[in-house]
Structures are given as C-alpha cells and as structure tokens.
Amino acid sequence: MLTGFVLFYVGAVLVINGLWLLGKIDGREIVIINLVTASVSGAVVLHDAFGDEANAASIRNAGLSLLFCTTYLWVAWNRLSGADGRGLGWFSLFVAITAVPVAARGFLAASTGAEFWMAANWLAWALLWFLYFTLLTLRLPISRPVGCITVLVGVLTGWMPGYLLMEGAL
C-alpha cells in the first residue's frame, strides 16, 4: 500500500511540474506539491530505512526512493530561493545514472508483469532525469518536450498505477 501511496503523489508532482515546464502555471505554484511529495516520500523512506521491519531490501528501496524525495525538495528550494537549477541538474544526472542499473537489475530479475513494469518505470525515470540534466545544466532549449514527457511519465508511472494500487486493483 505504501508503494501506491508514494507513486500517487509522484504522479501528481510530475504532472504539475510538467505543466510548469510547459508554461501552464507559475513556478511559485509548484512549491506546495513538491514539498508535500517530498514529505510523503520522506516519511516512507524513514519507515523503510529505520522502521521495526527494516531489512536489506527495504533499506535499498529507501535509498533509491530518497533520490526522488531529494529531487522534489530541491525543486521547491529552487523555486523559493531563485536558484538557477544547475545543481539540481547535476543531481539529476546522478539519479539518471543510478536508475539505469536499477532498471537493468529489475529486468533481469523480473518474473511477473508487475516486476517488468517496475523495471520499465526505472528506465523511464532514468530518461526523464537525464532530460532534467540536459535542461538544467546543459541549458538545452527543450522545456516543451521535457514538460510533455514529464506529464506522460507522471501519469503512466505514478498517478494511474499509484491510484490503482491504493484501490487494490493492481
């Protein structure tokens, strides 16, 4: 259930951030959803890493989830502070590089549709965070396509599956 809970908010933040990249909303308006998602995912990270039932797998998941939690907190900070985002861009490259072997490991170990789907999510997230690197650090003028991809990835890897997991449909 916690996976669905977190994915639901990851979907929300990616859709809203994508709309911001598309120029549909002001940057000040994305602060709240980024802080909420960072808080929600941060609470799950703490539970998984330090909870009574923490084990090697839950700690690994917490470490990987913290990459995303940190991203959302950093986005909020950049909007509040006026930072130009280059630091977040470099962090996004770190996330993208980390996500590639996570996806590969997932595909190699997958034996169910859900496991293949999660591996594909990691591949999509690797691509998305690499695009953030190119947008924020390399300063390529790709806000529009990155915004569209962010919305799409938000819906397909977060919002819809998170909702379905919370409803018990997945």
| Contacts for 57 with CB less than 8 Å, ≥ 6 apart | none
Is residue 2 a contact partner of residue 162, using CB atoms and an 8 Å limit?
no
Question: pLDDT (tens digit, 9 = 90+) per residue, 25-46?
Answer: 999 999 999 999 999 999 999 9
Give ∠ CA 89-72-123 in degrees, rounded to 5: 65
pLDDT at res. 36: 98
Mean pLDDT of 152-158: 98
Q: What is the mean pLDDT of residues 61-82?
A: 97
pTM for this entry: 0.95
The per-residue pLDDT for 170 is 85
State the CATH architecture for 1-167: Alpha Horseshoe (1.25)
Predicted confidence band at 57 (pLDDT cuts at 50, 70, 90)?
very high
What's the maximum distance between 2 C-alpha atoms anywhere in the chain?
Answer: 47
